[in-house]
Every structure is written in structure tokens, then in C-alpha cells.
Structure 1
Amino acid sequence: MKIWIDVSNAPHIHFFKNIIKELKVRGHDVVVTARNFDSIIEILELHDIDYRLVGKHGGFSLKDKLVESSKRIMGLTEIISKESPDLALYKHSVEASRVSYGLKIPSLCVLDNEIAESQNKLMLPLSTKIIAPKAVPLKEITRYGVSKKNIRRFYGVCELAHVRDFVPDEKVMSNFNFDRPLIVMRPEPIKADYYKGDKDKSIIRDIIVNSSMDATFVVFPRCEDQKKLFNFENVIIPENVIDSLSLIHYSDLVISAGGSMNREAIALEVPAISAFPGHVLAVTQFLIDLGIKDHSLDPKEIWKMAEEFMTSTYKKDVRKALKKMENPVDIILEEIEAIED
């Protein structure tokens, strides 16, 4: 089979990298397309993944988002109509869903963000099958007109795919001169349509300012505007794309106002605290209910949580919880094999 994978956000590379590898081992042809957004290009090249760059993110403006998405649909249509893949595979890609539907290409859509309503309205009704964590309520998928028989759910989180067969590279630590503890941080997704907070501020900055720990912070801003908020002596902002999974592995704690990096940390058995200033995602609540993640918007409370996590039996607890979870890589490969048969 020829399988088309579209990458529209940086964490999706970690999600798909092992799927791409396994598909090639099984003899499938894989076509990867990507949009120019965040650090997508650099991460693809870091992992030696061949790709075709098609379009870019529209930024903050609703008009620009629509224009760039429309341009990307046209660009993908030209490429994919010539490639004629047997299957499209994507995670929260509005353009891939539209193109695959328009060209009558069966599609698998991975969903783990029920609050991204604008994307979900455009994406879910056009996708052949939806793959989602069981934590996402079924009604959050079916309300877009998706039949239950076209939904495959799994017990776990998507980030387990990110760390499958993961081997940490200690060389990543040579990039930094720091003292312990090392805390990795990620600010808000200010360009996301579902983000409704103040784009000129960051709770991550407030958390650093109110830190009760003598720590080194490695911050991964999402754009140039966010970098200006983190001009502190004990803050390191990587100048180039680095192996973030290895960095997380060797860190003591992750605090993120996003989602993926927190869940990557948990998948790597590293304590994580969510500071997303909005509705708590179903997958986040799932991990909180298991007792292996916390959420707060109060910097002082966050540091109390951090101290508790870092001095508790966290690794033992998270390891026990992770053993019961399914890896979405296996689920996706099963679905592809079913289509092939």
C-alpha cells in the first residue's frame, strides 16, 4: 500500500515517526507532507524523515488562517492526486481530511483534543475512521455526525507512540550548563484557534517568577514573541532544535501550558504539571484521575505539587499505570492491516 501521512504540528512528528518506520519495514510506501509551522521542518530533519513542504500556518488572523488553509488544500491536492495513495493518515489536519475526502481516499484520523472545535467540525465528518483515546467522551466525536462504528478507541494517550522504542541520548545534556533541578517548560499555544487567553502574557513566566526552587529552567517558546517573556538568568532557551524527548528524560520535572510535552513526560516517567489556562482536556483529566498528573493555575500551588511529585513514589506509580495502557502505534497498524485485507 501507499500511505500518505500529513504533519500539521510539531508533536505529530514524534507521534508518526515510529509508525513511518514500521510501515516501511512492512513494505509499504510512505509519502509525508508537512506545513511550515513551529519547529516542524527542523524536527523532521532531526529524525531524517523525507517530506514535502506544503503551505504554512496562518498565524493569529482568522482571515489569514482561512487563506493559508485554502492554499494548502490546493497544494496538497496537486501532490496527492498524482501520488494516488491508498490511505491517508493524519492527526488534527483539516487540510488532509478535505483533500482525502475530495479525492475519495480512505482516511484514518487521530483525535485527542476535543476542545479544538473549529478543526473537529471540518475534520471529523470527512474522515473515514477516527482513532481516539477512551478518555475522550464518545459524544465529543459523535456530535459531529460520526457513526460509532467508525470510531476505534484505545486505553491510553497518544504520547505513548512518541516514546515507543525510545533510547535517550545523553549528548543532549552537553548543550546546557546548569544546576539541578532541571525543569522543562512550554508556554501556551497562542496561535491555536482554541486558545482564548491573553497572547501577550504567559502563566509559565509567572511560575518561574514565583519559583520556590533554585532550579534551571529550559523553556521552549512557540514563537519569537513568546521568547521576550523569558529573559531570566536561570532560563535557557535552546537556539536550535534539540532532542526534546531525551532532555525530558534527563529532567526532574515538566511544567507546560500546552498538552503534548506534559504527556510525553509522563510516558517517560517524569513528573508533569499542567498549567493550561482553559478547559482541561479529557486526556489530561484522565491522567489526573490516575494520580500521575496535576493541574493548576496558581504558581504557588504548582510549586507545592512539584515538591510532592519530586519526593514521592511517582515513578513507581506512573510505571504501574502505564503498563495497563495500549500503544496507539499498534492500534493504527492494526487498522491499516484491516484496510489492506
Structure 2
Amino acid sequence: MARILVDVCHPAHAHFFRVPIHLWTQEGHQVSVTSRNKDVAIEILDSLDIPHKSLGEAARTPLGLASELVRRNLLLTQHIRRTKADIAVALGGTFAAQSAFISRIPSVVFYDTEMASMQNRITYPLATRVVVPNCYSGWTPRGKTVRYPGYHELSYLDPRWFKPDRATALEAGLDEHRPTYLVRLVSWTANHDIGDRGLSPALMEAAIERLSAHGKVIVSSEAELPPHLKRFLYRGPALHMHHLMAFCTGYFGESATMASECAVLGVPAIYMANSRRGYTDEQESKYGLVKNIHSLDTESLQHGLNWLLGMRTEAYREARDRMLRDCENVAAFVVQQVLSTLNR
């Protein structure tokens, strides 16, 4: 039996580890979860009935992130000692890898964000194993990197683990009679967002206005919306978002993670920000599941929206089925990677 520490620092991390936590527990391992109050991460963990210990709020500035790194590493190291964890696991993994290194236990870091170069430079060298998708194009340490065919989002949205429910989607805001479009706006305060930027207010409003002419628009936003746009705000439970997403006609937004979530669910997605991701690049070039837009101007925006509004659902579903055939059972792979690292 292994004592596994899972550090959840972002809402997507809660989803990513949901199935592995269940599988580890089924096998008789003890799983301890530490959390970080970032966006709706705590709400999701609570909704999933995953017990966790919060180690504080997420910082919002570069100076605050540096202070949080010191404070949270201290708390996480104390938690490792108190729970006698055998291994620490995380997505991104800066806190987990550093605290595990200090505590002299192994760690496994899963990641897919190449542009978080500063974060990765202070994380990867201290991790025992770094696990990235085949499409990951950034630096990883030689001799400790494992690659796999797939995407993080398949850990929880693979048809083996997730069945979209239309009634739940309707409760979350899906329009029963018109197309529904999901828009995602981010706050640009995460450590991997340093130096990155997304839509200007004018581009954001232009996208919402264009999509509103073709159906219902629902906006999920980390940042405060202007008063005249608050009527579009998503007001359903955080845990219902993927059910809503699965029945949407299209997605437009600044979140690469949510673009990939839509892609693996078979929903056409536009990712618009100035940074690239290996996974959305592959989902566009190999499967046509995503359109990446990195020129933040009106012409590029309207060109992308033309693509989104003209997508044929049948072709998109076929591409999604082909992608699923090509990819690993990611949740089972996560379970195996952690246990094999511990047992090596």
C-alpha cells in the first residue's frame, strides 16, 4: 500500500486527478489531497466529495507568487511529514516537486504548458519523473521524462469516465432551442501567465456580439465582467460546466485548457491568446479540432468566428473519434506512472 499526496492548485487539477484518485483508492492505496484556493478549485473538490486540506489562497502578482512559494512549500513539507507520504504528485508541480525534494521522497510532475518556462526551470530538475504529452514541445530534463499519446483533458473527459447529461446541461444554462456558445475569459494572474496576454475589451465584446447574433452566449470568466456583460455570466455549479460544454455548438476563449476540453468532447473550439500550446497546435494540425489564433486583431477574430460558425458537426465528431482511437487511457496511465515511480 502506498501513501500518495496529490497537490491540487487549480480547478483543472481537481478534474485531472479525479479518476486516478478513485482508482488508487480502489487498489487500497491511501490518498491525501492538499488544495489551493484558486478560482473554483475548492468548490470542485467539495462537489466531488474529495477530502482535502487547504493550504491557502492563490497569489495574484509576481511578488505575491514568490511569497506564496516559500509559505506554501513550508506548509506542504509539514503536511508530507505529518501524513508520512511516500510520493508527491501534481500537475505543474512546483510546490510538490520542491517540497518532496526537501522531504526526500519521490515526486511525479504532469504538465503540458511549454510557455511556463520559469516555473518549469525551478520544477522539472527536482522532480523524480516528468510526464508530458507527445505533442509537448518545451524543454524537459533528459533521463527522467516520459511521453504519451494523449491530452490531460482525457484523464477526466474520456468516454470511459464521463457521460454528458443533457438535463444537467439544460439546468446549467443550455438553450433548448437555439445554439449555445461558451466563451471563457481568464484573469492572467497565474505563474504561467507572466508575459502572456489575451483579448482586449473591444475584441471580447466583438466576439460576444457576433456569437449572440447566432444563438445564446454563456461567459465563464475569472475576471470581473463589465456591468453591461454580466447578463451573459455562467451561473451554474462549477461541476456542471462539462455537461454544458458537451452540448454547446462552439467555444471561443482565452483558456487553452477549456479549448482542449471542448475538442475532446467533440465541440469546435477557438483558442485566442498570444501564446501557443503544443496540445492545441496538435489538435488543430492533426485533427482539425481547434483553431488557434495568436494575432489579437479584429480581422483574425472575425476570420476565426467565420470558421466556428461554419463548422459541420458530423465532420467534427468523426475527427474526435479518430483522436480517441489514437490516444492513451490517460487516467490509467497516470495511475501506472505514479506507482511505477514509487516502485522503481
Fold conserved between structures, TM > 0.5: yes
Which residue is 1:16 aligned to? 17
* C-alpha spacing 1:256/1:162, structure 2 compared with 1 (3 Å): farther
- Percent identity over the alignment is 22
**CA distance in structure 2 between the partners assigned to 1:242 and 1:215 by the alignment:** 23
* C-alpha spacing 1:310/1:199, structure 2 compared with 1 (3 Å): closer
Is residue 191 of structure 2 the alignment partner of residue 188 of structure 1?
no
- Corresponding letter in the other structure for 1:65: L
Is residue 148 of structure 2 the alignment partner of residue 154 of structure 1?
yes
Which residue is 1:314 aligned to? 316
Matched residue SS, 2:246: helix
Shift of 1:239: 5.8
- Map of 1:17-56 to 2, 5 A cutoff? 17-56=18-57
1:21-51, Cα deviation, whole Å (9 max, x unpaired): 0000011000000111110111111111110
* C-alpha spacing 1:242/1:205, structure 2 compared with 1 (3 Å): farther
CA contact 1:36–1:55 (8 Å) conserved in 2: yes
Matched residue SS, 1:171: helix
**CA distance in structure 1 between the partners assigned to 2:172 and 2:185 by the alignment:** 21
- Map of 1:92-131 to 2, 5 A cutoff? 92-131=92-131
**CA distance in structure 2 between the partners assigned to 1:256 and 1:177 by the alignment:** 18
Shift of 1:189: 4.3
Which residue is 2:343 aligned to? 340
* C-alpha spacing 1:200/1:152, structure 2 compared with 1 (3 Å): same
| Greater mean alpha carbon deviation, residues 81-90 or residues 206-215 | 206-215
- Corresponding letter in the other structure for 1:191: T
Shift of 1:108: 0.6
**CA distance in structure 2 between the partners assigned to 1:230 and 1:103 by the alignment:** 51
Which residue is 1:258 aligned to? 255
**CA distance in structure 2 between the partners assigned to 1:177 and 1:312 by the alignment:** 20
1:153-190, Cα deviation, whole Å (9 max, x unpaired): 00111111021310223224124373521011211341
Shift of 1:242: 4.0
1:105-156, Cα deviation, whole Å (9 max, x unpaired): 101100100101121111111100011001012xx233xxx22x31110011
CA contact 2:109–2:130 (8 Å) conserved in 1: yes
**TM-score, structure 1 normalization:** 0.90
Shift of 1:330: 2.3
- Corresponding letter in the other structure for 1:158: H
**CA distance in structure 2 between the partners assigned to 1:192 and 1:337 by the alignment:** 30
Q: CA RMSD in A?
A: 2.1
Moved over 4 A (4+): none
Which residue is 1:247 aligned to? 244
Is residue 268 of structure 2 the alignment partner of residue 274 of structure 1?
no
Q: Gaps spanning 5+ residues in structure 2: where?
A: none
